[in-house]
Amino acid sequence: MVKCDRVLQELSNYIDEDVDPSLRAAIEEHVRGCHRCSVLVDSARKMLYVVGDERVFEVPVGYSERLHARLAQHLGRA
Amino acid sequence: MAEHDLLVADIDEQLIRNEATLIERIRKGEKELFHELIQPYERSVYLSAYSILRNQSDAEEVAQEALLKAFAHLDQLRSTDKFKAWLLLIAVNEARMRLRKEHRHLFESLEEQTMETEEGDFMPRQFADWREIPSDILERKEIRTAVQNALNTLPEKYRDVFILRDMQHLTVTETAQVLRLTIPAVKTQLHRARLQMREQLAPVFGKRWIERLPFWKGKNPW
C-alpha cells in the first residue's frame, strides 16, 4: 500500500506508464480511495491534454507563408 | 497493445518511411520537396525557438534560420527516423546562440519563480476536481495566455524539457538527446515541470467548473 507522498513522488512516471506493474497497482488502489490523489492525477492528466493540443499554441499570423517564401528564395539560390 | 495504439504506431511508421524517402530525394537534388518535409514541424520549430527566446519576432527569425540550416546540413543527418528530434535540436541551438548574443539570459533568474522548498521538495496546492474539458476551450485566448504565462514561470531547464516532451510529444530519450541531458535528468525535470504547470493552470481551467460543483459555496471537500 502506498501513501499520498509516494503518489506525488511518482506522479509523472505513473502518468507516463513508467512504473513497474506492482507499484502501478498500488498507486491505482490508493488513488481509488483517496479523493485528494485522484484530483492530483486527474488534473495533471487534463493539464497535459490541454497543453499537448496544438490549438492551444498560437504562431504569428502569416508565419507559415513567410517561412515558405524565404525557403523558396533560398532553395532557388541553393 | 490496444487497437488504437496499433493504428497510431502504424501511422507513425508510415510517416517515418515517407520522411526517409523525402530526405533521400532531397539529397539527390529534388530540393523543392524540402517544403513538404518540414511542413509538419513548422509549429514545433517555432515553439522550440519561442520557448527559449520568448519573443515572437526573434522566434520567427530563428525558426527560419534553423530550417535553412537544416536544409544545408541535411546530408549530415545520420538516422532519417530521427528527423524531428534533429530539427528541434538545431532550433534549440540556434535560439540559445541568439540568446547568448543578446545576453538576455542575465535577466532569466529574475523571472524564475519556483514553488520548491529549500530541500527541492514540491508542495502541491489543492484544487477542486476538474470535470470535462469542453473542446472549444482549447481555442480560447484566455487559455492560450494562461498556458504561456504558466510556461513563463517555469525555470528555463524545466521549460525546455516540458515543451519538448509534453507539447511537442518527443519521447524522453529524444528529449534527452535534443537537450543533451541524461534520461534520469529529463524525468526529474519533467516531473517538477508538470507539477508546477498543474499548479499554475488548475485554477484557470477549473474556474468555470468549480462554480457548478456542489461544494463550491463551502470549502474544499477534503
Whether the CB-CB separation of B62 and B83 falls below 8 Å is answered with no
* Yes or no, beta carbons of A50 and B147 under 8 Å apart: yes
Q: Which residues contact A69 (CB under 8 A, 6 or more apart)?
A: none
What's the pLDDT tens digit per position in B127-164? 444 444 555 555 567 777 888 889 889 998 899 899 99
Residues from chain A contacting residue B190 (CB–CB below 8 Å) = 12
**pLDDT, tens only, B51-86:** 888 888 999 999 999 999 999 999 988 887 889 889
Residue type for position A37: C
Contact status of B127 with chain A (Cβ, < 8 Å): yes
CA of A2, closest CA in chain B: separation in Å? 18
Q: Give me the interface pTM, i.e. the ipTM.
A: 0.87
Is the pLDDT reported for residue B222 higher than 60? no
Judged against a pLDDT cut of 70, whether residue B174 lies above it is answered with yes
Nearest CA in chain A to B38: A68
Q: What is chain B's alpha carbon radius of gyration, rounded to the nearest angstrom?
A: 20
Instruction: Name the residue facing B34 among A16, A42, A71 (closest C-beta).
Output: A71
From B85, B86, B66, B54, select the one nearest A70 (Cα to Cα): B66
Say whether pLDDT at B220 is over 80: no
Nearest to B187 among A12, A47, A74 (CB): A12
- In this prediction, residue A78 carries a pLDDT of 67
Model confidence band, residue B214 (pLDDT cutoffs 50, 70, 90) = very low
Residue A59 or residue B34, greater confidence? B34
Domain-by-domain residue ranges, chain B? 3-107, 112-210
Of how many residues is chain B composed?
A: 222
Give the model's confidence band at B216: pLDDT under 50 very low, under 70 low, under 90 confident, else very high: very low
The reply to whether A73 touches chain B by the CB within 8 Å rule is: no
- Owner of C-alpha cell 488513488: A31
Residue of A nearest to B32 (CA): A75
Displacement of CA B78 from its chain's centroid (Å): 24
Q: And the C-alpha cell for B206?
A: 477549473
Preferred mutation among A48, A67, A74 to probe B, highest tally of B CBs within 10 A:
A67
Residue to test with chain A: of B39, B46, B148, B170, most A Cβ within 10 A? B46
Which of A15, A46, A57 lies at the smallest CB-CB distance from B47? A57
Length of chain A: 78
Give A15-67 pLDDT, tens digit per residue. Answer: 999 999 999 999 999 999 999 999 889 889 888 988 888 777 778 999 999 99
If you count DSSP H runs as helices and E runs as strands, how many of each does chain B have, helices first?
Answer: 10, 0
Across residues B14-24, what is the average pLDDT? 83
Q: What is the mean pLDDT of residues B198-212?
A: 65
Q: How far is B142 from chain A (nearest CA, A)?
A: 10
Residue B213 scores a pLDDT above 80: no
Give the distance from CA A9 to its chain's centroid.
16
- Unique residue bearing C-alpha cell 501511422: B11
Is-contact A70 B64, C-beta < 8 A? yes
Q: What is the dihedral of CA B190, B192, B198, B200, to 10 degrees?
A: -120
Cβ–Cβ < 8 Å for B166, A50: no
Q: Which residue has the higher pLDDT, B204 or B201?
A: B201
B40 touches chain A (CB under 8 A): no
Query: Which candidate, A22, A75, A59, places its Cα nearest to that of B36?
Result: A75
Give the DSSP H/E element, type plus range, for residue B196.
Answer: helix B183-210
- Name residue, grid cell 485554477: B203
Angle subtended at Cα B142 by Cα B141 and Cα B146, rounded to the nearest 5 degrees: 115
CA-based nearest residue in chain B for residue A64: B42
- Classify B55 as helix, strand or coil: coil
CATH architecture of B3-107: Orthogonal Bundle (1.10)
Contact assessment for residue B49 and residue B141, using Cβ atoms and an 8 Å cutoff: no
**Fold topology of B112-210:** Arc Repressor Mutant, subunit A (1.10.10)
What backbone phi and psi angles, to 5 degrees, belong to B122?
-115, 130
CA A14/CA B186 separation, integer angstroms: 15
